[in-house]
């Protein structure tokens, strides 16, 4: 199976690198500057699960020349989705599958309209990963989870093919029987985590040490959970319990990558964040079901005010 990874940033670099490391036919499609770095230095992964220095094939955006692939994995940020779809268009043959690893659910509307719902799979990843100043992928914790599946829950031949593709790589990558449920569960966790850590500009342990910190963390989780439940995708009890424990762990240094983007100026993203995709769209879906989300709205206003300041500075 010929695989194209759109993006060799933290997420795409990690999972694409693990596929290439295992001998799969993997290429990367990246911006010209990133392509130059990868050609010069290779794809470097530093991880508690094992380091790697790889030399995968790299294409700069605009340089595919109608070379097609069996699978395209989208590992971009939500704010880059439109340009990403233009970039991958030449890579799509009649049977090409597209596996997005973006947060939330809003991107499916755009993908379905652009390429047809029949070729778009559901996918998600759970990993704490970033790029260092030299472009190496820094894996920050042992967790490296990737899930994929048909959005209607069927086990099809192409899911079997993807299962074989990911089998044996250095990552926890496997099919999900209900990828839409899993996407909602991740969204609840991420919106709660990003909403609170960005609003407070603090990690979980610091919020927990503050007056009312725990109660506000749990209020945010309750609001996000209510939105999922209104869409018939309430987090399963074990998943919700794990999220609650993660959000209230005393002394935890855990933060959302969105906060790291804000505090670092965003690295390659230039300070841009996924406020609309992760938080704003959840509020929109809540309003459609008459679900009150007062704390989530405060967090969203905070994020949009940051974006307004960032835009003014530019």
- Return the SS3 of 82: helix
Please tell me the distance from the alpha carbon of residue 172 to that of residue 136, in angstroms, as a whole number. Answer: 21
SS3 letters across 239-308: HHHHHHHHHCCCCCCCCCHHHHHHHHCCHHHCCCCCHHHHHHHHHHHHHHCCCCCHHHHHHHHHHHHHHH
- Return the SS3 of 93: strand
Strands (DSSP E) contained in 150-281 are 172-175
User: Does residue 253 have an active-site annotation?
Assistant: no
**Catalytic residue chosen out of the listed positions 66, 67, 77, 186:** 186
The DSSP secondary-structure symbol of 273 reads -
**Angular region, 120: left φ>0, alpha ψ -120 to 50, beta rest:** beta
Q: Which residues are catalytic?
A: 186
């Amino acid at each position: 199976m010929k695989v194209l990874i759109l993006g060799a940033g933290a997420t795409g670099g990690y999972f694409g690198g693990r596929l290439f490391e295992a001998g799969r036919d993997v290429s990367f499609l990246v911006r010209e500057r990133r392509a130059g770095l990868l050609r010069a230095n290779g794809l470097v992964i530093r991880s508690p699960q094992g380091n790697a220095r790889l030399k995968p094939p790299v294409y700069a955006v605009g340089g595919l020349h109608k070379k097609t692939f069996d699978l395209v994995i989208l590992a971009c940020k939500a704010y880059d989705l439109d340009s990403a779809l233009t970039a991958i268009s030449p890579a799509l043959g009649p049977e090409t599958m597209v596996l997005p690893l973006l947060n939330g659910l809003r991107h499916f509307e755009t993908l379905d309209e652009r390429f047809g719902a029949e070729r778009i799979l559901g996918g998600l990843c759970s990993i704490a990963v970033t790029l260092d100043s030299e472009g190496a992928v820094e894996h920050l914790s042992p967790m490296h989870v990737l899930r994929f599946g048909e959005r209607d829950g069927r086990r099809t031949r192409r899911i079997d093919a993807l299962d074989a593709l990911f089998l044996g790589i250095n990552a926890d990558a496997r099919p999900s029987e209900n990828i839409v449920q899993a996407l909602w569960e991740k969204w609840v966790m991420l919106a709660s985590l990003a909403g609170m850590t960005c609003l407070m500009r603090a990690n979980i342990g610091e919020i927990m040490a503050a007056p009312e910190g725990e109660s506000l963390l749990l209020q945010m989780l309750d609001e996000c959970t209510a939105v999922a439940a209104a869409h018939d995708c309430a987090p399963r009890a074990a998943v919700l319990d794990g999220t609650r424990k993660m959000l209230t762990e005393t002394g935890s240094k855990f933060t959302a990558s969105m906060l790291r983007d804000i505090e670092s100026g965003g690295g390659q993203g230039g300070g841009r964040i996924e406020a609309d995709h992760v938080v704003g769209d959840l509020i929109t879906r809540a309003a459609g079901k008459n679900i009150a989300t007062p704390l989530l709205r405060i967090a969203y206003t905070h994020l949009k005010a940051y974006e307004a300041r960032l835009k003014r500075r530019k």
